[in-house]
Amino acid sequence: MNQPVPEKPKRGGFLSNLAFNIIIPVIILSKFSGAEDLGPAWSIVVALSFPISYGLWDLKQSGKVNAFSILGIVSVFLTGGMSLLELDPKYIAIKEATVPAIIGIAVLITQKTKYPIIKVFILNEQIIKTDKLYSLLNAKNATEKFERILARSSYIVAASFALSSVLNYVLAKVILVSPPGTTAFSEELGKMTALSYPVIALPSMTVMMIAIWYLFSQIGKLTGESIENFIVGAEPDEEPAA
C-alpha cells in the first residue's frame, strides 16, 4: 500500500511577506504614532510586532532554524529596543549597516570551507538537482572549473550585501533626524521602512540576480544542457529519440 506523501509546510508568499514586514508597520508608524493614537512608543511596539510575529511563524512553518531568519528577527528586536530606549539614531544606522555586512562577510569566510553559503542561497536541493548536476560535471571533468565559478558567484553575492550595508546606513542617516521618543521619529522610522524596498532591496536583488544569471549560464556551458534540466520542478527538455 502506498504511503501518502507528507505535504510540505506552507510558507508565507511574497504578498504576505510584504504586508507584514513593510506595509502594516509603515501604516502604523506613519498614521498612528501621534499622542491621540498609540503614541510614539506604542506605535513602535505594535508596528514591529508584525515582522517579528511573521518571522517566528515562518520559522515554525519551515520546520527548521534558519540562521538568516533568526538574524532578521534579532535585527527587528534591536531596532525596537534602540528606539524605545531613545538611543541616538546613529546607533540604528550602524545596526542597519551591520546586519547585511555580517552576512556578506559570512559569505566570503564560508567560501573557504566545505559548506559555502552560496549553496544555501542558490545551489541547494530545494532549487537545483545537485546530484544530477555534479554527476554530469564529474563525467565531463568540469567539477574543479565549476567550483571556481561558484567562488566568483560568491563574490558577487557578497558584493550585493556590501551594497545593502552602505545603502542601509545612508538611508538611516538621511531619514532619522528627529529625537527618539517623538511622534516625528516614529514617522521617520515608518518612512525608512517604506523606502527600504525600492532604495535597498531592489539594487541588492539586482546584484544577486546577476550572480544567479552568471552561475546558471556557466552551468549550461559546462554541462551542455539547459538549466531547466537541473531546476527542481521544471519540465526537462525532451531528449532526442535514439
Query: CB–CB of 21/69 below 8 Å?
Result: no
* Rounded Cα distance, 24 and 20, in Å: 6
Which residues fall within 8 angstroms of residue 80, CB to CB, at 6 or more apart?
Answer: 44, 45, 48
Write down the pLDDT at residue 242.
Answer: 41
Residues 221-233 pLDDT 10s: 888 888 888 887 6
Q: pLDDT band at residue 4, thresholds of 50, 70 and 90?
A: very low
Q: pLDDT band at residue 198, thresholds of 50, 70 and 90?
A: confident
Which residues fall within 8 angstroms of residue 122, CB to CB, at 6 or more apart?
Answer: 128, 153, 157, 211, 212, 215
Q: What mean pLDDT value characterizes the chain?
A: 78
Residues 48-95 pLDDT 10s: 777 778 777 877 776 665 556 666 677 777 777 787 778 888 888 998
**DSSP summary character for residue 55:** H
pTM over 0.75: no
- What grid cell was written down for 170? 545612508
Question: How many other CB atoms sit within 10 Å of the CB of residue 211?
Answer: 21
Write down the pLDDT at residue 170.
Answer: 93
Write down the pLDDT at residue 175.
Answer: 92
Write down the pLDDT at residue 96.
Answer: 86
